[in-house]
Amino acid sequence: MNCVICKNGNMNEGHVTVTLQRGDSIIVLKNVPASVCENCGEYTLSETVVERVMQIAEESVTKKVEIEVLNYAA
Ligand SMILES: [Zn+2]
């Protein structure tokens, strides 16, 4: 599959760091499995991963954290 952004690079399975902001909370999620473009670094997440990421983010927002750094794999 070719990258939808640069149309050049191949998408490889890898891991990315996702940063989310919800209101006043910032959540940094490390080791999120993703397809990463070898050319421009753009990434896409699968539906299952997005759901899990949102779930983790909601938990942090509920706790009213200012900033939280989490590991997806943990
Ligand atoms: Zn690309």
**Structure confidence by residue, pLDDT tens digits, 13-62:** 999 999 999 889 999 999 999 999 999 999 999 999 999 999 999 999 99
Closest CA to 38 of 67, 6, 74, 60: 6
Q: Which helix (H) or strand (E) holds 68?
A: strand 67-71
Query: What separation in Å is there between the alpha carbon of 30 and the centre of ligand 1?
Result: 21
- pLDDT reading at 74 higher than 90: no
- pLDDT value at position 40? 96
At the topology level of CATH, where does 11-71 sit? Ubiquitin-like (UB roll) (3.10.20)
Query: What separation in Å is there between the alpha carbon of 35 and the centre of ligand 1?
Result: 11
- pLDDT reading at 64 higher than 90: yes
Query: What separation in Å is there between the alpha carbon of 32 and the centre of ligand 1?
Result: 18
Q: Which helix (H) or strand (E) holds 24?
A: none
* Beta-sheet strands, E only, within 7-66: 11-22, 25-37, 43-44
Query: What separation in Å is there between the alpha carbon of 21 and the centre of ligand 1?
Result: 24
- pLDDT value at position 32? 98
Query: What separation in Å is there between the alpha carbon of 66 and the centre of ligand 1?
Result: 32
